[in-house]
């Protein structure tokens, strides 16, 4: 079955589900995560201010986890940018990268974590780095949300990634060095290693404002699944900040402080997992489509082989007959008393077979060669009437009564007149043949109708012997025939031609007797008036 | 060519091909019966003559190869010459293994077909002669009494009357009488003649048994 979705429109969306509009399922999942975080916040609040002892040792592990997760997320986003080349995406990746790399100086400067390495004593550096990290990330997200999806040229994408990475690393190194080297001139954000000063108040306030702006910007846009997950991230950061700065009253290493960190980590991992699972999905889809393409090509090849074999047979048959007749004729003439009448008969048969061979070649030509690709707007009703007029003699001979039910004002279809005429002729011929042996009234009905706005369906119904019970699909295979003198090519050709026109051909039982062969073709968008004189082309 | 009477059956679903084959075969003196399907061939009364069946491989319904298999189960099938539009090697091997005389690809040289048909008819003729002789022999043998039947292989093996009498616990005179009877019933003129007839009879019996088990 063919859907009516244009494959090109959805190509980029298929390539990356992240860039596609959020599904309802994804929206529910994101809302669920947000709700879970709120519950976690509520559950943590009573114990938030309780301080913990000696948990500095866990800081490197926490920092390492944040570093790895944010770096991986950034890498995946950069990969996505490489494919889509959207500047906004690059900015977001840079944001993640910056945040991830900034964790390194942050944890190095943290009082009590790496004192042996850094000498300790710097009380303000960590807070300053943390503040920069916290305030910069939502800025990147806001920029991502606000920036238009402009594409960079393919060559520029690669360079942009390299420059971004180099720039981020340099900026972080420079900033860290400046901050750590001038710890004493920094604003006094901390009273001591654990307690924040009154000045710190402004940092979470500013951050929360930025988060809110980011959430609103993303919420207004909400164009892709990625946007939804970024909203979850910002929301998590918001909750983390509330826990860190207000619920735990800004006391470092308290239960609330750690809880905030953990929630942040969990949700960052969640985004990474979403990214990874999407990447896997994309990969699976790609593999599937590659396989499907390979299979389709194989099928086409097999069909072509079968077709060429059958063409060879169809041409060979009259040729062989001609050769045999010629040999016979020669032998009759070589008799002591030449048998002229026998030789004449043999020559006559050669002439007939020559015409038969030429007809085969001509039909192959209509099938493939000249003008097979040529498509014009066609009036199917006119075409049907022309074919029926041609088959009149045959129908009369088969004592078949022909009726039509052609819908008026049928939209035209775009097609090859010779091929479609051949299809209708084959179906009509089959129907007449199917009724040859029956004692019932022999009724052939050809109908056309519009189906679901965009399709035209033509049905050829007979009251003949009906379809074989087991070989429904084999009917359409080459060489399959139930006729004594059939080649088994007709229906195969019909299906191939109809499918080449973007339609379908199928068979079903007629009531009470016989079979119906129907095909559908996409209706042309053009109105009948606009099709010009060619529309009636097949009508003679 | 047909100094002795024979018949060629042609089964081809393509009427034009059938007629041309018929004309070619008639031009060299064959009698031809043309059929459009294997069923028509089976249902038609056919003359009891040395015959050959020219069979198209690709027929609607039952294929030529299937029909060959079916025919081989009947008594005395005519030898088959296959003709085909697109013969492949496995198909021809299968046909030849099942006893076809030839497997010709259309278009074939007329002489090839005529040679094959001739060979097939001669083959059938020889088989018929053999069968007729065997039938005659069997009729002769049927006239023998059980005792004479017992004595025949012993005589053929070159045993003396005395030895035979001893083996069957008979008097020598009785053996002599039986032996004369056997000679007369099988129309043997000499002992050498009798030995040959006995051999052929034994071979015929073996062949008959083989046929019985096949059916």
pLDDT of residue B33: 94
> Is B16 within 8 Å of A486 when comparing Cβ atoms?
no
Q: Which residue positions in chain A have pLDDT lower than 70? A: 1-19, 116-122, 148-149, 250, 299-303, 306, 365-373, 397, 470-474, 477-489, 525-540
| Partner residues linked to B55 by β-bridges | B11, B82
pLDDT of residue A534: 40
Is B195 near chain A, with CB under 8 Å? Answer: no
CB-CB neighbors (< 8 A) of B20 in chain A: 321, 324-325, 328, 346, 349
> Is B23 within 8 Å of A316 when comparing Cβ atoms?
no
- DSSP letter string, B79-148: PEEEEESS--HHHHHHHHHTT-SEEEESS--HHHHHHHHHHHHHHHHHHHHHHHHHHHHHHHHHTS-HHH
Is B13 near chain A, with CB under 8 Å? Answer: yes
Find, in chain B, the residue whose alpha carbon is nearest to that of A480: B60
Mutation site for B-interface testing, chosen from A316, A318, A328 by largest number of B Cβ within 10 Å? A328
Residue A22 makes CB contacts below 8 A (sequence gap 6+) with: A30, A222, A224, A225, A227, A228
> Is B107 within 8 Å of A312 when comparing Cβ atoms?
no
What is the C-alpha separation between B193 and B186, in angstroms, rounded? 10
CA atoms within 13 A on the CB side of B48: 5
| Full set of structural domains in chain B with CATH | 7-132 (3.40.50.2300), 143-214 (1.10.10.10)
ipTM of the complex: 0.76
pLDDT of residue B212: 42
Residue pair A122/A180 in contact by the 8 Å Cβ criterion: yes
Find, in chain A, the residue whose alpha carbon is nearest to that of B36: A484
> Is A352 within 8 Å of B16 when comparing Cβ atoms?
yes
Query: Which listed CATH number (3.40.250.10, 1.10.287.3510, 3.30.565.10, 3.80.10.10) goes with A376-536?
Result: 3.30.565.10
- In A339-403, which residue ranges form alpha helices assigned H by DSSP? 340-367, 380-390, 392-397
> Is A317 within 8 Å of B108 when comparing Cβ atoms?
no
Residue pair A90/A78 in contact by the 8 Å Cβ criterion: yes
Question: How far does chain A reach from its first CA to its final CA, in angstroms?
Answer: 35
Domain extents in chain A: 11-45+55-293, 306-367, 376-536
The β-bridge relationship of strands A443-451 and A401-406 is parallel
Residue pair A107/A133 in contact by the 8 Å Cβ criterion: no
CA atoms within 13 A on the CB side of A448: 20
CB-CB neighbors (< 8 A) of A353 in chain B: 16
Q: Give a three-class secondary structure readout of A261-297.
A: HHHHHHHHHHHHHHHHHHHHHHHHHHHHHHHHHHHHH
- Which of A314, A197, A308 is closest to A251 using CA atoms? A197
> Is B17 within 8 Å of A346 when comparing Cβ atoms?
no
Work out the number of other CB atoms within 10 angstroms of the CB of residue A436: 14
For chain B positions 106-125, those within 8 Å of chain A (CB to CB) are 106-110
Q: Provide the whole-model pTM.
A: 0.49
Tell me: the pLDDT tens digits for B156-211?
888 888 888 888 888 889 998 988 888 888 888 888 888 888 888 887 777 665 54
What is the C-alpha separation between B154 and B64, in angstroms, rounded? 49
Is B51 exposed, middle or buried (CB count within 10 Å of its CB: 0-12, 13-18, 19+)?
A: buried
Q: Which residue positions in chain B have pLDDT lower than 50? A: 1-3, 211-215
């Amino acid at each position: 079955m063919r859907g009516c979705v244009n494959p090109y429109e959805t190509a980029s969306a298929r390539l990356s589900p992240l860039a596609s509009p959020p599904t309802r399922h994804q929206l529910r999942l994101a809302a669920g995560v947000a709700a879970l975080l709120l519950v976690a916040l509520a559950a943590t609040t009573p114990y938030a201010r309780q301080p913990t002892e000696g948990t500095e040792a866990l800081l490197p592990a926490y920092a390492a986890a944040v570093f790895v997760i944010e770096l991986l997320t950034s890498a995946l986003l950069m990969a996505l940018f490489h494919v889509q080349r959207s500047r906004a995406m690059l900015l977001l990746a840079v944001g993640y990268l910056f945040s991830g790399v900034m964790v390194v100086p942050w944890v190095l400067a943290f009082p009590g974590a790496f004192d042996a390495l850094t000498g300790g004593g710097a009380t303000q550096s960590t807070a300053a780095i943390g503040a920069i990290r916290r305030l910069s990330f939502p800025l990147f997200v806001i920029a991502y949300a606000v920036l238009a999806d402009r594409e960079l040229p393919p060559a520029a994408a690669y360079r942009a990634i390299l420059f971004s990475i180099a720039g981020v690393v340099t900026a972080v190194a420079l900033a860290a060095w400046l901050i750590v080297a001038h710890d004493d001139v920094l604003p006094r954000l901390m009273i001591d290693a654990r307690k924040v000063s009154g000045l710190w108040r402004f940092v979470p306030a500013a951050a929360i404002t930025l988060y809110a702006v980011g959430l609103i910007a993303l919420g207004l846009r909400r164009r892709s699944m990625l946007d939804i997950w970024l909203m979850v991230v910002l929301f998590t950061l918001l909750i983390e900040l509330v826990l860190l700065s207000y619920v735990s009253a800004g006391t470092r290493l308290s239960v609330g402080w750690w809880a905030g960190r953990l929630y942040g980590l969990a949700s960052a991992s969640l985004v990474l997992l979403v990214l990874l699972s999407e990447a896997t999905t994309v990969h699976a889809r790609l593999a599937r489509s590659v396989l499907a393409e390979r299979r389709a090509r194989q099928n086409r090849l097999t069909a072509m082989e079968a077709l060429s074999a059958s063409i060879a047979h169809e041409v060979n048959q009259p040729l062989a007959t001609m050769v045999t007749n010629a040999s016979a004729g020669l032998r009759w003439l070589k008799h002591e008393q030449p048998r002229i009448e026998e030789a004449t008969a043999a020559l006559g048969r050669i002439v007939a077979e020559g015409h038969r061979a030429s007809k085969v070649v001509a039909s192959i030509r209509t099938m493939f060669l000249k003008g097979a690709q040529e498509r014009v707007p066609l009036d199917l009703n006119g075409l049907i009437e022309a074919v029926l007029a041609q088959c009149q003699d045959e129908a009369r001979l088969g004592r078949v009564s022909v009726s039509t039910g052609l819908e008026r004002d049928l939209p035209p279809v775009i097609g090859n007149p010779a091929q479609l005429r051949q299809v209708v002729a084959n179906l009509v011929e089959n129907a007449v043949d199917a009724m040859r042996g029956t004692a019932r009234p022999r009724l052939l009905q050809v109908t056309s109708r519009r189906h679901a706005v965009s399709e035209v369906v033509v049905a050829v119904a007979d009251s003949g012997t009906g379809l074989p019970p087991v070989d429904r699909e084999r009917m359409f295979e080459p060489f399959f025939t139930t006729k004594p003198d059939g080649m088994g090519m007709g229906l195969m050709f019909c299906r191939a031609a109809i499918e080449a026109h973007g339609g379908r051909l199928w068979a079903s039982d007629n009531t009470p007797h016989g079979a119906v062969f129907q095909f559908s073709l996409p209706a042309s968008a053009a109105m009948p008036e606009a099709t010009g004189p060619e529309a009636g082309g097949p009508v003679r | 060519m047909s100094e002795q009477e024979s018949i060629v059956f042609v089964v081809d679903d393509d009427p034009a091909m059938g007629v041309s084959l018929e004309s070619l075969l008639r031009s060299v003196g064959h009698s031809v019966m043309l059929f459009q399907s294997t069923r028509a061939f089976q249902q038609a009364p056919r003359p009891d003559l040395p015959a050959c069946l020219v069979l198209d491989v690709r027929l609607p319904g039952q294929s030529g190869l299937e029909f060959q298999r079916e025919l081989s189960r009947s008594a005395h099938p005519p030898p088959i010459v296959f003709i085909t539009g697109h013969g492949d090697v496995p198909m021809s091997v299968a046909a030849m293994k099942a006893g076809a005389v030839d497997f010709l690809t259309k278009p074939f040289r007329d002489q090839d077909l005529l040679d094959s048909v001739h060979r097939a008819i001669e083959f059938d003729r020889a088989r018929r002669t053999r069968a007729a002789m065997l039938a005659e022999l069997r009729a002769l043998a049927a006239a023998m009494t059980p005792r004479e039947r017992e004595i025949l292989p012993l005589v053929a093996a070159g045993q003396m009357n005395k030895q035979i009498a001893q083996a069957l616990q008979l008097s020598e005179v009785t053996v002599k009488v039986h032996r004369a009877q056997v000679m007369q019933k099988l129309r043997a003129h000499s002992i050498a003649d009798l030995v040959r007839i006995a051999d052929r009879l034994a071979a015929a019996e073996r062949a008959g048994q083989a046929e019985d088990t096949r059916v």
